Chains A and B, each alone.
Chain A
């Protein structure tokens, strides 16, 4: 050992030293690498790790429950499950779409379309594919999820709207996914939100929608939730109490069902404009929208000739026929042109400006005063008065009674009727008004058109002595701290109708029901029901002849407008039967509504729904009789 170290020994030592340094350097490089990752770039990777394992899930807020005026539940929420795709966790979107559509049993194209529509959304936001999944669908997806086959598909409980079937469907409206346009306009809305699309769901969406909560959870690599980090529970939407009376509403719906006609009805409290009942028929099932309406149902609702989505009560414009006569009478009385004792002589027809105008009663009514003229619905009397008053004054008073203007009800997309005037004709038609045109207006024909809701306001105004109340649906709001009443909106206008003049009209309306008039079917002994029937053509007789044999329903529309009791009215409204043939048929439906209203008011048992109203279903004009145009009662 003391001698020179052998050559190979030296070589081993030196080569080992090289290795020593080499390895030390490599380890130093490794340490630097880790330092860069763990210290220099730590913040970046920490955020990436959090994005990996933390998710914010939206907790859908249930919409507010809607009650009737007595606190009965009208619209509530039910538990349902929605199935959605979270693309953030998707490896292959095409595979997910294919597999998911198989598992759910729906068309691949439909899933793809939904995904495409939301392709610009942030990838962490779930795209809802099925809103109201069946239990079988939920089970199928859950099973696949556990097999890690669909880690990007989520099943989450979602509160879904539950409506009382087709009852008051147009009033409640429906909910659906918010449109891209609305999202762009309102910062509070996000793509995929469920918002009211019509009815009170739309008008009071801000109150009803509540506030979605959120949950921050830790998930593992296959998206399974491990634990909750923090939870911000959703706030349920405010509860709304409507002015609707469930019993009255049901009486209306039952009445239409038994009568077998489409149409609309509105029942108001004439004192303040509370809407007690409101319907439009045919109806649809808003529950179908709540669960995400399918294309076929939507298409059929839109192409249906009967237009079930149209809210006839506020969007249907119809000729009022004889129900318009009170407006003409009031104009004559208040303008001082006639008195209640003004008599006209009816010989079954009359000549104005060289044209022959027929009364519905060809035999004539003889000498007749205002009360009787209303009772008998004498056309000649109102031709005469209209001619004396002139179209502009008729327009003025009809407007003050609520006709030809919007009622201001708290529902979306109300349309306006029309009561013509010389100014209207000049502006719209660029033509002069001919005095001869006023004659038809006297019996609610010609250009006159009204919406059912405006007819209800008209009767309420006659009932309360001149206050054009604003019909409204919202009675009280509960934001969780107790019910706070919502004051009725101010009236649209207010006039003081001379009580004596008003009484003459009321007497006439009373006679229609309780005398020898056409509204006898609405009579309720002891309740002084006052009203007026009206029938209006949907096509002129000539037109009807020209149309020949057609599938189109060309039968007359039937009106009944009413209030009761005559002297201290508690209720006013309208029943409009589309192609209901006779106003008398509408009066029969009204009978059941008022019977229910008063029974409830007095605490009596509610009347049974009659099995049959024994209405007149034969169309008197089915044989296409030709004759001069004229009002029919």
Chain B
């Protein structure tokens, strides 16, 4: 169990950066949902609860050796698939998608936790075999990723589903997958894109992509959020409009400001200075976690850290790009900062694994 000396090996700097981002998130949520005409919003309090729960999950993920989790990863994976199936049939419908399991305090979004499950099972799978993964290994790994991905996409929640892909690619990459295979896959993806456009994508998904390419063609509809996001960020300037002074977020020109567009609010109210601080914190967290992957005592640890980090990094970069109106609008949260309990708890739990791997680098 938790040995006292391990305590000294906890990466306090990483933890501090993570908590700083959480606090930044709460402040922005408070700012954007604060509405004196409607009384105090309780959203930031919910977020604080989620942070506490998330820290609890983090401690839990820290407490046991990560190998305990990877050893049980096949069970975790199967349980995860079961829950995802349950959601598809019995989940709560919100905004046209069946993504949530209603719990007493809040709605649980299992897809957020699926990232961890996939990271665990892939780390275990690739960690067991030495050397460059063969075609067969890659196929199995891809299948293990594709199964939950398909289930999540069916909800539908294409955004979260897509975040599973980086997990697979990152672990496969680290496991030594040949770069040639990477190249082939990229070519295949490019070839598949027109087919996906024709058969797989729904109309609203197509319109999101086409309006991204030319937002003005639908300035009041799908392009609206993108234009508003740019205005929000651009009008923030160097030093920002000040806490609770952002007109775009406060006056709701920017939709779901406390959620998907939390970074836009930060950019508006705290300016380029605030953006640099937040970007710096995220970069620090990612590089620090990469450091943990490098320091890990075994391949399994490295793969696990990178698996957790892959979806996190993908989401951070995508969301921040989108929040500046530079990527198509997709319902992807900004991990650690966006409002949302499931995302926060799953992310903090994931970093529990990262800290775990680093902490136990000297143990046997």
Instruction: Give me the interface of A with B, judged by CB distance under 8 Å.
Output: 8, 11-13, 15-16, 19-20, 23-24, 26-27, 30-31, 33-35, 37-39, 41-42, 44-46, 48-50, 52-53, 91, 218-222, 226
Q: Which residues of B lie under 8 Å from residue A45 when comparing CB positions?
A: 230-231, 233-235
Contact B253 A221 (CB under 8 A): yes
Confirm or deny: B27 has a beta carbon within 8 angstroms of a beta carbon on chain A. no
Confirm or deny: B104 has a beta carbon within 8 angstroms of a beta carbon on chain A. no
User: B237: which of A30, A39, A226 is its contact (CB, 8 Å)?
Assistant: A39
> Do A23 and B234 form a contact, CB below 8 Å, given A8-B176, A33-B324?
no
Q: Which residues of B lie under 8 Å from residue A13 when comparing CB positions?
A: 294
Contact B233 A38 (CB under 8 A): yes
Stretch at the interface among B111-119, B150-158, B274-282, B340-348: B274-282
Contact B235 A49 (CB under 8 A): yes
Contact A20 B290 (CB under 8 A): yes
Contact B283 A23 (CB under 8 A): yes
User: A34: which of B130, B275, B294 is its contact (CB, 8 Å)?
Assistant: B275
Contact A23 B313 (CB under 8 A): yes
A-B contact pairs, 26 of them (CB 8 A): A13-B294, A15-B173, A15-B176, A16-B290, A16-B294, A19-B170, A19-B290, A23-B313, A30-B279, A30-B320, A30-B324, A31-B276, A33-B324, A33-B326, A38-B233, A42-B234, A45-B231, A45-B234, A48-B231, A49-B232, A50-B247, A52-B228, A52-B248, A53-B247, A91-B220, A220-B252
Q: Which residues of B lie under 8 Å from residue A23 when comparing CB positions?
A: 283, 286-287, 290, 313, 317
The 9 closest A-B pairs by CB, nearest first: A45-B234, A49-B235, A220-B251, A38-B272, A221-B252, A91-B220, A37-B234, A221-B253, A45-B235
Q: Which residues of B lie under 8 Å from residue A8 when comparing CB positions?
A: 130-131, 176, 299
Contact B321 A30 (CB under 8 A): yes
Confirm or deny: B63 has a beta carbon within 8 angstroms of a beta carbon on chain A. no
Confirm or deny: B328 has a beta carbon within 8 angstroms of a beta carbon on chain A. no
Q: Which residues of A lie under 8 Å from residue B320 when comparing CB positions?
A: 30
Contact A34 B235 (CB under 8 A): no
Q: Which residues of A lie under 8 Å from residue B259 when comparing CB positions?
A: none
Q: How far is the CB of A576 from chain B (nearest CB, A)?
A: 62
Instruction: Kindly report which residue of chain A lies nearest to residue B313, judged by CB atoms.
Output: A23
**In the assembly, what is the distance between CA of A504 and CA of B315, in Å?**
110
Contact B317 A26 (CB under 8 A): yes
**In the assembly, what is the distance between CA of A168 and CA of B170, in Å?**
89
User: B234: which of A46, A91, A219, A221 is its contact (CB, 8 Å)?
Assistant: A46
User: A15: which of B174, B248, B275, B276 is its contact (CB, 8 Å)?
Assistant: B174
Instruction: Kindly report which residue of chain B lies nearest to residue A35, judged by CB atoms.
Output: B272
**In the assembly, what is the distance between CA of A226 and CA of B37, in Å?**
10
Q: Which residues of B lie under 8 Å from residue A15 when comparing CB positions?
A: 173-174, 176
**In the assembly, what is the distance between CA of A226 and CA of B245, in Å?**
13
> Do A30 and B317 form a contact, CB below 8 Å, given A20-B287, A38-B267?
yes
Instruction: Determine which residue in A11, A13, A222 has the highest number of CB atoms from chain B within 10 A of its CB, and name it.
Output: A11
Q: How far is the CB of A8 from chain B (nearest CB, A)?
A: 6
What 0/1 readout, one digit per residue, does chain B (291-319) give for beta carbons within 8 Å of chain A?
Answer: 00110000100100010000001000100
Q: Which residues of B lie under 8 Å from residue A42 when comparing CB positions?
A: 234-238
**In the assembly, what is the distance between CA of A31 and CA of B299, in Å?**
33
Confirm or deny: B350 has a beta carbon within 8 angstroms of a beta carbon on chain A. no
**In the assembly, what is the distance between CA of A37 and CA of B267, in Å?**
10
Confirm or deny: B91 has a beta carbon within 8 angstroms of a beta carbon on chain A. no
Contact A34 B247 (CB under 8 A): no
Q: Which residues of A lie under 8 Å from residue B252 when comparing CB positions?
A: 220-222
> Do A38 and B287 form a contact, CB below 8 Å, given A33-B321, A45-B230?
no
Confirm or deny: B271 has a beta carbon within 8 angstroms of a beta carbon on chain A. yes
Contact B234 A44 (CB under 8 A): yes
Instruction: Give me the interface of B with A, judged by CB distance under 8 Å.
Output: 130-131, 170, 173-174, 176, 220-221, 228, 230-238, 247-248, 251-253, 267, 271-272, 275-276, 279, 282-283, 286-287, 290, 293-294, 299, 302, 306, 313, 317, 320-321, 324, 326
Instruction: Determine which residue in A15, A48, A220, A226 has the highest number of CB atoms from chain B within 10 A of its CB, and name it.
Output: A15
Q: Which residues of B lie under 8 Å from residue A222 when comparing CB positions?
A: 252
Contact B253 A46 (CB under 8 A): no
Contact A16 B253 (CB under 8 A): no
**In the assembly, what is the distance between CA of A517 and CA of B236, in Å?**
92
User: B251: which of A26, A46, A218 is its contact (CB, 8 Å)?
Assistant: A218
Contact A37 B230 (CB under 8 A): yes
Contact A52 B236 (CB under 8 A): no
Q: Which residues of B lie under 8 Å from residue A39 when comparing CB positions?
A: 237-238, 272
Instruction: Kindly report which residue of chain B lies nearest to residue A19, judged by CB atoms.
Output: B290
**In the assembly, what is the distance between CA of A19 and CA of B169, in Å?**
12
Q: Which residues of A lie under 8 Å from residue B321 when comparing CB positions?
A: 30, 33
Instruction: Kindly report which residue of chain B lies nearest to residue A219, judged by CB atoms.
Output: B251
**In the assembly, what is the distance between CA of A52 and CA of B228, in Å?**
9
Instruction: Determine which residue in A45, A48, A50, A221 has the highest number of CB atoms from chain B within 10 A of its CB, and name it.
Output: A45
Instruction: Kindly report which residue of chain B lies nearest to residue A42, judged by CB atoms.
Output: B237
Q: Which residues of A lie under 8 Å from residue B279 when comparing CB positions?
A: 27, 30-31, 34
Instruction: Kindly report which residue of chain B lies nearest to residue A12, judged by CB atoms.
Output: B302
> Do A38 and B299 form a contact, CB below 8 Å, given A20-B290, A23-B286, A226-B251?
no
User: A41: which of B221, B234, B302 is its contact (CB, 8 Å)?
Assistant: B234
Contact A221 B251 (CB under 8 A): yes
**In the assembly, what is the distance between CA of A222 and CA of B238, in Å?**
28
Instruction: Kindly report which residue of chain A lies nearest to residue B254, judged by CB atoms.
Output: A221
Contact B287 A53 (CB under 8 A): no
> Do A38 and B236 form a contact, CB below 8 Å, given A27-B279, A53-B247?
yes
Instruction: Kindly report which residue of chain A lies nearest to residue B219, judged by CB atoms.
Output: A91
Given contacts A13-B294, A39-B272, A53-B253, 16 further A-B contacts (CB under 8 A): A8-B130, A8-B299, A12-B299, A16-B174, A19-B170, A34-B276, A38-B271, A49-B253, A52-B231, A53-B247, A91-B220, A91-B221, A220-B253, A221-B252, A221-B253, A222-B252
Q: Which residues of A lie under 8 Å from residue B294 when comparing CB positions?
A: 12-13, 16
Instruction: Kindly report which residue of chain B lies nearest to residue A45, judged by CB atoms.
Output: B234
User: A16: which of B232, B235, B293 is its contact (CB, 8 Å)?
Assistant: B293
Q: How far is the CB of B236 from chain A (nearest CB, A)?
A: 5
**In the assembly, what is the distance between CA of A178 and CA of B173, in Å?**
74
**In the assembly, what is the distance between CA of A34 and CA of B283, in Å?**
15
Q: How far is the CB of B186 from chain A (nearest CB, A)?
A: 15
Q: How far is the CB of A34 from chain B (nearest CB, A)?
A: 5
Instruction: Kindly report which residue of chain B lies nearest to residue A16, judged by CB atoms.
Output: B294
Q: How far is the CB of B251 from chain A (nearest CB, A)?
A: 4
**In the assembly, what is the distance between CA of A15 and CA of B303, in Å?**
12
Q: How far is the CB of A354 from chain B (nearest CB, A)?
A: 88
Contact A27 B283 (CB under 8 A): yes
Contact A46 B275 (CB under 8 A): no
Q: How far is the CB of B262 from chain A (nearest CB, A)?
A: 15
**In the assembly, what is the distance between CA of A50 and CA of B230, in Å?**
14
Q: Which residues of A lie under 8 Å from residue B173 when comparing CB positions?
A: 15
Contact A38 B237 (CB under 8 A): yes
User: A31: which of B221, B234, B236, B275 is its contact (CB, 8 Å)?
Assistant: B275
Q: Which residues of A lie under 8 Å from residue B283 when comparing CB positions?
A: 23-24, 27
**In the assembly, what is the distance between CA of A44 and CA of B130, in Å?**
56
Q: Which residues of A lie under 8 Å from residue B221 when comparing CB positions?
A: 91
Contact B234 A52 (CB under 8 A): no
Contact B313 A52 (CB under 8 A): no
**In the assembly, what is the distance between CA of A27 and CA of B228, in Å?**
23
Instruction: Kindly report which residue of chain A lies nearest to residue B252, judged by CB atoms.
Output: A221
**In the assembly, what is the distance between CA of A49 and CA of B279, in Å?**
24
Q: How far is the CB of A256 from chain B (nearest CB, A)?
A: 58
Q: Which residues of A lie under 8 Å from residue B228 when comparing CB positions?
A: 52
Contact A34 B232 (CB under 8 A): no
Instruction: Kindly report which residue of chain B lies nearest to residue A34, judged by CB atoms.
Output: B275
**In the assembly, what is the distance between CA of A213 and CA of B319, in Å?**
45
Contact B232 A27 (CB under 8 A): no
**In the assembly, what is the distance between CA of A196 and CA of B237, in Å?**
49
Q: Which residues of B lie under 8 Å from residue A24 when comparing CB positions?
A: 283, 287
Q: How far is the CB of B74 from chain A (nearest CB, A)?
A: 23
Q: How far is the CB of A618 from chain B (nearest CB, A)?
A: 73
Q: Which residues of B lie under 8 Å from residue A44 when comparing CB positions?
A: 234
**In the assembly, what is the distance between CA of A24 and CA of B279, in Å?**
10
Q: How far is the CB of A134 from chain B (nearest CB, A)?
A: 29
**In the assembly, what is the distance between CA of A220 and CA of B233, in Å?**
17
